[in-house]
């Protein structure tokens, strides 16, 4: 059984890797720098991870699990699907704006060769909550009958574009702008 010191070291390693990747990218973040930043011996990292690639993939899974948990936090199944979708959509945007390093890491990972190293079953497990959430609304005829991959790409792509716009500093979103973004996305997927 691992003790809390092990979890603290592992979290320090994850945080150091995230910090370095946010500054230098995947390839310019050597394990020696991760160890230095995490304030652990280089050998300690290899106690937890066989390689830098394994560490990066483990960080992706950790952040993706946290992200999914966060966007569905406080989902109230007693509310209408429109209200639930609004909460889901705005939660994606607000959480990503609060955690830009995590957002950019997840984006970068999703568009890198690393993604193909994660087993398909694991990717499915990580993405399933979003698919289930939207698919149920299609099944109950609240949302248009859009193929699930397109529906998820549309919703997540819309949110991602809003997040990038806000994080770029080009446009400061007000709460009215966020509501407009939500309604624009909603109007594109709801059943008439």
Other Cβ atoms less than 10 A from the Cβ of 170: the count is 8
- Where residue 75 falls (left for φ over 0; alpha for ψ -120 to 50; beta otherwise) is beta
The per-residue pLDDT for 138 is 96
CB 118 within 8 A of CB 61: yes
Q: Is residue 120 one of the residues assigned to a domain?
A: yes
Do 65 and 147 belong together in one domain?
yes
Do 122 and 184 belong together in one domain?
yes
Q: Is residue 55 one of the residues assigned to a domain?
A: no
Do 75 and 161 belong together in one domain?
yes
Number of domains in the chain: 2
Do 75 and 144 belong together in one domain?
yes
Domain that holds residue 37: 1-49
Q: Is residue 54 one of the residues assigned to a domain?
A: no
Which of 80, 70, 75, 94 shows the shortest CA–CA distance to 190? 80
Backbone angles phi, psi at 136, to 5 degrees: -60, -40
The per-residue pLDDT for 1 is 47
Per-position pLDDT tens, the chain of length 192: 455 666 689 999 999 999 999 999 998 889 999 999 999 998 999 999 999 999 999 999 999 999 999 999 999 999 999 999 999 999 999 999 999 999 999 999 999 999 999 999 999 999 999 999 999 999 999 999 999 999 999 999 999 999 999 999 999 999 999 999 999 999 999 998
- For residue 103, give both structure tokens: 């957002």
Do 97 and 162 belong together in one domain?
yes
Backbone angles phi, psi at 143, to 5 degrees: -105, 155
Do 39 and 67 belong together in one domain?
no
The per-residue pLDDT for 192 is 84
Do 88 and 149 belong together in one domain?
yes
Do 45 and 64 belong together in one domain?
no
SS3 12: helix
Q: Which residue has the tokens 């594109």?
A: 188
CB 158 within 8 A of CB 151: no
Give this prediction's pTM: 0.91
Do 88 and 127 belong together in one domain?
yes
Backbone angles phi, psi at 80, to 5 degrees: -65, 160
CATH code of residue 129: 1.10.357.10
Q: Which residue has the tokens 């699990």?
A: 65
């Amino acid at each position: 059984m691992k003790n809390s010191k092990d979890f603290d070291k592992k979290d320090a390693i994850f945080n150091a890797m995230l910090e370095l990747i946010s500054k230098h990218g995947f390839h310019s973040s050597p394990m020696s720098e991760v160890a230095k930043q995490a304030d652990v011996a280089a050998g300690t990292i290899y106690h937890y991870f066989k390689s830098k690639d394994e560490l990066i993939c483990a960080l992706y899974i950790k952040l993706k699990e946290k992200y999914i948990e966060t966007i569905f936090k406080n989902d109230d199944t007693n509310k209408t699907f429109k209200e639930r979708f609004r909460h889901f959509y705005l939660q994606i945007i607000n959480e990503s704006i609060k955690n830009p390093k995590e957002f950019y890491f997840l984006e970068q990972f999703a568009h890198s060769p690393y993604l193909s190293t994660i087993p398909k079953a694991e990717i499915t497990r990580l993405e399933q909550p979003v698919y289930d959430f939207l698919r149920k609304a299609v099944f109950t005829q609240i949302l248009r009958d859009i193929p699930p991959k397109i529906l998820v790409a549309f919703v997540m792509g819309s949110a991602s574009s809003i997040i990038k716009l806000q994080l770029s500093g080009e446009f400061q979103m007000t709460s009215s702008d966020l509501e407009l973004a939500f309604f624009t996305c909603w109007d594109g997927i709801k059943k008439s």
